[in-house]
Amino acid sequence: MNAKVKKRVNVTFTHIILIIVSLLFILPFIWMVSTSLKPITQVFTFPIEWIPDPFQWMNYLDAIEYIPFFTYLKNTVVITVLSTLGVIISCPLVAYSFAKLEWRGKNVLFVITIAVMMIPSQVTMIPLFLLFNKIGWVGTPLPLIVPAFFGVPFSIFLLRQFFMGLPDTLRDAAKIDGASEFRIYWQIMLPLAKPAILAVGLFQFMGSWTDFMGPLLYLTDEAQYTLSLGLQQFQSQMGTEWGLMMAVATMMTIPIIILFFFLQKTFIKGITFSGIK
């Protein structure tokens, strides 16, 4: 009985903390949605008016007309989906190799993999552009997609950490059964690393979805533009069309929220090693 009461108190306490912190964390989103429904004159008032009056649903229609929303959306989806796919295919493979396989030069290469992240992208941006320019990829979405198929250092590093955490017993057992390395990877290790792979995929998805500098540099035709470039179009010297801009931002965010809502289950403790033999 005593333990039960204690547990209930604990749960309530957890809820209270979670609710308080949630309130803090939900603010930006509420602000975004609320702004997206306000007429321009209501966007900035002190103190903040959280509930628009009246709801300006027209902002959404106006925003869709202001920029070629659906074209940009389609472009963004293509780039994002392909590059995410690239990361999901390539990174676990490489990470597995770093974590579980024995080969010469592995440690050196791993150090280099970490090291390349330490140079800020602002200075490698130009040479990289010149490279893509030389092979004629500027003006196409390829520079935003293809590199993902060859691995992204921070994803490789993250996945490596997860593979390192998987027990070798499973692998060894399969080896004894005569399974090939690729089969072990594909049938045993990959499923075990699913939460991490999904996390990596999600990050890549978000990264591509909101990337600004990449599309800015590499896309040269308005028909290829992405939504993050479109967001900029709401800024003019008269000021920012906050209502419209936030309408687009909201529409950009919703898919990721839905995606996240369904993915987050996989982050829950769900893997029981005993289940796999």
Cα gap 234→243, rounded to integer Å: 9
- Work out how close the CB of 107 gets to another protein at its nearest, in angstroms, rounded to a whole number: 9
Distances from the Cα of 89 to the Cα of 58, 127, 214, 256, angstroms: 42, 27, 21, 21
Closer by beta carbon to another protein, 77 or else 138: 138
- Work out how close the CB of 54 gets to another protein at its nearest, in angstroms, rounded to a whole number: 18
Residue showing tokens 């509930």: 51
Output the CA torsion 136→137→139→145 (10° steps): 180
- Work out how close the CB of 55 gets to another protein at its nearest, in angstroms, rounded to a whole number: 19
The gap between the terminal CA atoms of the chain, to the nearest Å, is: 39
The sign of the torsion formed by the CA atoms of 55, 57, 63, 65 equals negative
Q: How many CA atoms lie within 13 A of 81 on its CB side?
A: 8
- Work out how close the CB of 57 gets to another protein at its nearest, in angstroms, rounded to a whole number: 20
- Work out how close the CB of 118 gets to another protein at its nearest, in angstroms, rounded to a whole number: 4
Q: Which runs of E-coded beta strand occur in the chain?
A: 235-236, 239-240
- Work out how close the CB of 119 gets to another protein at its nearest, in angstroms, rounded to a whole number: 5
Tell me which residue of 166, 207, 210, 209 sits closest to 189, measured CA to CA. 166
Q: What tokens does 184 get?
A: 């072990």
Closer by beta carbon to another protein, 54 or else 275: 275
Closer by beta carbon to another protein, 73 or else 231: 231
Closer by beta carbon to another protein, 55 or else 183: 183
Output the CA torsion 180→182→184→188 (10° steps): -160
- Work out how close the CB of 80 gets to another protein at its nearest, in angstroms, rounded to a whole number: 14
Closer by beta carbon to another protein, 77 or else 271: 271
Cα gap 233→201, rounded to integer Å: 29
